[in-house]
Amino acid sequence: MSKTRTRTDRETRATDDHHQSVRLWLRLLTCTSLIEGEVRRRLRTTFGVTLPRYDLMSQLERHPEGLKMTELSRRMMVTGGNVTGITDQLVEEGLVLRDASPADRRAYLLKLTPKGRRTFGEMARAHEPWIVELFDGLSDAEKERLHALLAALKTHVLTVSRHDTPPA
Looking at the DSSP assignment, which residues form a beta bridge with residue 82?
Answer: none
Q: How far apart are alpha carbons 44 and 50 in whole angstroms?
A: 6
**What are the domain boundaries of the chain?**
36-160
Percent share of the chain, pLDDT over 70: 86
Q: Which pLDDT belongs to residue 86?
A: 93
Q: Which long-range contacts (CB under 8 A, 24 or more apart) does 9-15 make?
A: 9/33, 9/34
Fold of 36-160: Arc Repressor Mutant, subunit A (1.10.10)
Nearest Cα to Cα of residue 124 among 71, 59, 73, 30: 59
Please give the DSSP secondary-structure letter assigned to residue 3: P
Q: How confident is the model over 95-145, as pLDDT tens digits?
A: 999 988 788 778 889 999 999 999 999 999 999 999 999 999 999 999 999
Q: Which pLDDT belongs to residue 16?
A: 67
Q: How far apart are alpha carbons 32 and 28 in whole angstroms?
A: 6
Q: How confident is the model over 33-52, as pLDDT tens digits?
A: 999 999 999 999 999 999 99
Q: Which pLDDT belongs to residue 151?
A: 96
Q: Which pLDDT belongs to residue 7?
A: 62
Query: Nearest-5° angle of CA 100, CA 101, CA 102?
Result: 110
Q: How far apart are alpha carbons 92 and 157 in whole angstroms?
A: 41
